[in-house]
Amino acid sequence: MTQLSGKVAIITGGASGIGEACAQVFAREGARVVVTDIQSDRGKRVAAAVGGTFVEHDVSDEAEWSAAIATTLSAHGRLDIVINNAGMFAAQTIEDCDLALWNKVLQVNLTSVMLGCKHGIAAMKENPGGPSGSIVNVSSITGFIGLASAAAYTASKGGVRLLTKSVAVHCARTYKTIRCNSLHPGAIDTPMNQAAFEASGDPEGMRAFFDSVQPLGRMAGAAEMAECALFLASDRASFVTGTELVADGGWLAASGPL
């Protein structure tokens, strides 16, 4: 039997990168997948490829969260997994910080996770058979250490880490069977990171740096992160809540520079 047989999963930012890989891995493991993204054409292609459903979805908009959940429940009658993966990166130090961009990064990277948890729990507690579910919030190693060149991004990912713990404790005390954990990738070979490399003016140099700074000597693939999310989402992690799964090639262990 596949690990997610009979389960329904919403994956935000599912049109590319880690989200797309999660859609592929979760469908492989038997889940019915709802892919959400603002990238409509690409998201539709991903959903079609995995036999899932696509919902165009601005994760920073609460009304759109309500609509995405409603679509999921109408189609499938339950919600078992929320992967809060959608995010954005902005390169700006604290001295360069533009308030409008700061607010946008926090809305997309942190407020969206709050909304995903809030509305996900509301659906999960009404599941047939009683409350149950798993929420996986995609943070970053910058949830532990500071990235000097990205103040807003670092703040948002640190917020995701601690919000996850608050949600996990609340759900454990209130429902027992709804879990919440955070996933902390290191440098991953995704379109978002490639865009950041291009913006640096030296994409090959940046890629070489991020390959070298992780003790395993390379960036990870998105599919490797999806396998980590799979564990947290599955019943194999039934006693895991409020914790961090760090998948960074040993970066934090080596205290590499940021």
- Residue 71, burial from CB neighbour count under 10 angstroms (0-12, 13-18, 19+): middle
Catalytic residue positions? Answer: 153
